[in-house]
Structure 1
């Protein structure tokens, strides 16, 4: 991805509803040129889609937790996706290094909902044990940015 595309993506991350004209004015391109670049980035999979960022509380999700899962034997990411993807409160799963095999992001309306979700995670025949951390407050919560650390 060249620097101009990084700038375009940066504008889209800040405001996904910005027009191609607004982005073009900011980066020194015409609106059609920005559209061509965005279409190309989508075709190459560099931009995978557009979405709305919604306050979880508006959806009734007042509590969130991160659940470390420790599996029996080797479990593929595809198996984790299949088994954990059916739990509506699971909003994210990532395999990780360290002692745990994966970390699961869970959001629910109540502590009882978190507990029920953790119990559903534990019922997988592949999960040996879990360790749950409930989020008390979010200190920094921003989308990834082009040119950032990493």
Structure 2
């Protein structure tokens, strides 16, 4: 990716529905040149897709927590992925360094549903215990 590609990607990150002409005006190219570059970025896998971002509160998932998972024995990432995929409130999960084996991001409608999701995670054979941090407010969110 060159600087122009990066500028196009930044425009798409701000508004993936922006017309090619508007992007071209921003980066100094014609609409057709922008389209060709975007097509190439999609074709080579740099751009993996286009999506919408919905306010979690509008979907009834305003309560969120980050949960550290401490597992028994040696647990593979595939086993953790299967277990966490079965809990629909888990919206993201990663393996991590440090004391915990993994970190799960959970979103739910309210505290009782968050507690039920945590119980489903805790009651699997591979999880010894968890440590949770409930989100009070978002300071920065660049995931969109």
Q: TM-score surpassing 0.5?
A: yes
Aligned to 1:148: none
Aligned to 1:24: 24
- CA–CA distance in 2 between the matches of 1:85 and 1:35? 36
How far the C-alpha of 1:75 sits from its partner, in A, is: 2.5
How far the C-alpha of 1:14 sits from its partner, in A, is: 0.9
Aligned to 1:123: 123
How far the C-alpha of 1:103 sits from its partner, in A, is: 0.7
Is residue 139 of structure 1 aligned with residue 143 of structure 2? no
Q: Secondary structure at the match of 2:49?
A: coil
Question: Relative to 1, partners in 2 of residues 1:78 and 1:45: Cα closer, same or farther, differing over 3 Å?
Answer: farther
- CA–CA distance in 2 between the matches of 1:14 and 1:5? 14
Deviations along 1:100-136, one digit per CA (max 9) or x if unpaired, are 1111000111101111111111122221111011001
CA RMSD of superposed structures (Å)? 1.4
| Unmatched segments (≥5 aa) in structure 1 | 145-150
- CA–CA distance in 2 between the matches of 1:75 and 1:62? 31
TM-score (norm. length: structure 1): 0.89
Question: Relative to 1, partners in 2 of residues 1:86 and 1:131: Cα closer, same or farther, differing over 3 Å?
Answer: same
Aligned to 1:95: 95
Q: Secondary structure at the match of 1:78?
A: helix
Aligned length, in residue pairs: 144
| Unmatched segments (≥5 aa) in structure 2 | none
- CA–CA distance in 1 between the matches of 2:138 and 2:120? 25
Q: For structure 1, which segment, 73-82 or 83-92, has the greater mean C-alpha deviation from structure 2 after superposition? A: 73-82
- Mapped contact 1:69–1:104 kept (Cα < 8 A): yes
TM-score (norm. length: structure 2): 0.92
- Mapped contact 1:90–1:104 kept (Cα < 8 A): yes
Aligned to 2:60: 60
